Amino acid sequence: MSHSTIALALHGGAGTILRETMTPELQAQYQLGLQTALDAGYAILEAGGSAIDAVAATVSSLEDCPLFNAGRGSVFNHIGEHEMDAAIMAGNNLACGAVAGIQGVRNPVQLARAVMEETEHVLLIGQGAQTFAQTQDFPLQPASYFFTQQRFDQWQQALQEGRVQLDHTEKKFGTVGAVALDIRGDLAAATSTGGMTNKQFGRVGDSPIIGAGTWAANDTCAISCTGHGELFIKAAVAHDIHCLMSYKGLSLQEASDLVVLEKLVKIGGEGGLVAVDAQGNISMPFNSDGMYRACKSSGREAQVLIYK
């Protein structure tokens, strides 16, 4: 079986993203951020690199862009800090790593990768994960690195209104993620998030939960989700799509549409996901107004999309 096909898909969050409320300048900035991340990962795949390297590079690029709620652009929590979660998974051996509730790390996805590659563990959380980052020589960024006026204003507004927000003043689920198929036929997925504006109590959503927000298995698909995390956990979204393909023989498109457009809708689970299968088919369903997304695969034009 030839595996000459390569494919990459990414998202930068889903939610109430409407053409009416977007300025041309801001839209161009989002498109540039998505394109830059797409190019970073796709170049690796084109050069024969691994799917894991590609999703790590793509997600790192999105984490470095202050527009997206992950890494640098992470929202403020209740006490004015940035708590981030991330996960990564390799489809060839189900190796996976995740971190939750970490602070100061520029690229949480790379810390998740270090958990996968340098430890016997899958999930490290909080202060302990922080200590691990230091043993791995991850430089910690000062709080100023994560400061953006927009996020600060959102936090102040949420504080005043006593709200916990899923990203922006509108209903947006800020998360970034990527999935890839490399030239060897290996799949990989990665997801990263800054969580909810004004969040309290160490809340963690689906992003770092293997099987909920992130999943990759070579025999089925790689998936990265974005949406109302609690409902994505209850629906075990990523692993459910894997099982629908593996046990019911559904195609990637059928399985991901069923979960996102029917099962999640039924429980009020707003959001979407990006997915790729072993043949390089890409699926990017969402049940919200919009989802920042982009994809490219062998022989096809790159797509950079925001609205329905």
Question: Which sequence positions are flagged as catalytic?
Answer: 175
Task: State the minimum distance, in angstroms, from the CB of residue 240 to a copy of itself.
Answer: 7
244 interacts with a copy of itself by CB under 8 A = yes
Name residue, tokens 């691990």: 132
Q: At 129, which amino acid appears?
A: A
**Contact status: 239 vs a copy of itself (CB under 8 A):** yes
Q: Which of 117, 202, 219, 308 binds a copy of itself (CB under 8 A)?
A: 202
What is the β-pairing status of strands 84-90 and 7-15?
Answer: unpaired
**Which residue number, 204 or 295, has a Cβ lying nearer to a copy of itself?**
204
Cβ nearer to a copy of itself, comparing 210 with 304: 210
Question: How far is residue 219's CA from residue 243's CA, in Å, rounded to a whole number?
Answer: 11
- Does the protein bind a copy of itself through residue 122 (CB under 8 A)? yes
* Residue 256 and residue 241 in contact, taking contact as beta carbons nearer than 8 Å: yes
Q: Which residues pair with 303 in a beta bridge?
A: 295
Please answer whether residues 49 and 273 qualify as being in contact, where contact means their C-beta atoms are separated by less than 8 angstroms.
Answer: no
Question: Between residue 245 and residue 264, which ones bind a copy of itself under the rule CB under 8 A?
Answer: 247-248
- 140 binds a copy of itself per the rule CB under 8 A: no
Task: Decide if residue 190 touches a copy of itself (CB under 8 A).
Answer: no
> Would you count residue 275 as binding a copy of itself (CB under 8 A)?
no
100 touches a copy of itself (CB under 8 A)? yes
Q: What's the rounded Cα separation, in Å, for the pair 250 and 234?
A: 21
Rg for the chain (alpha carbons), in Å?
A: 17
Burial tier of 292 (Cβ tally within 10 Å: 0-12, 13-18, 19+): buried
- Chain centroid to CA 273: how far? 8
Contact status: 187 vs a copy of itself (CB under 8 A) = no
CB of residue 140 vs a copy of itself: minimum separation in angstroms? 15
The answer to whether residue 48 forms part of the interface with a copy of itself (CB under 8 A) is: no
Q: Which residues pair with 86 in a beta bridge?
A: 99, 192
| Torsion sign across C-alpha atoms 299, 300, 301, 306 | negative
Q: Report the distance separating Cα 206 and Cα 234, nearest Å.
A: 9
Q: Does 162 bind a copy of itself (CB under 8 A)?
A: no
Q: How many residues bind a copy of itself (CB under 8 A)?
A: 43
CA distance 176 to 160: 27
Residue 123, interface with a copy of itself (CB under 8 A)?
A: yes
Q: Could you tell me which stretch among 1-9, 65-73, 240-248, 289-297 binds a copy of itself (CB under 8 A)? A: 240-248
Query: Contact with a copy of itself (CB under 8 A): which of 13, 49, 101, 177?
Result: 101
Interacting residues toward a copy of itself by CB under 8 A: 94-96, 100-101, 119-129, 131-132, 164, 200-205, 209-212, 215, 229-230, 233-236, 239-240, 243-244, 247-248, 267
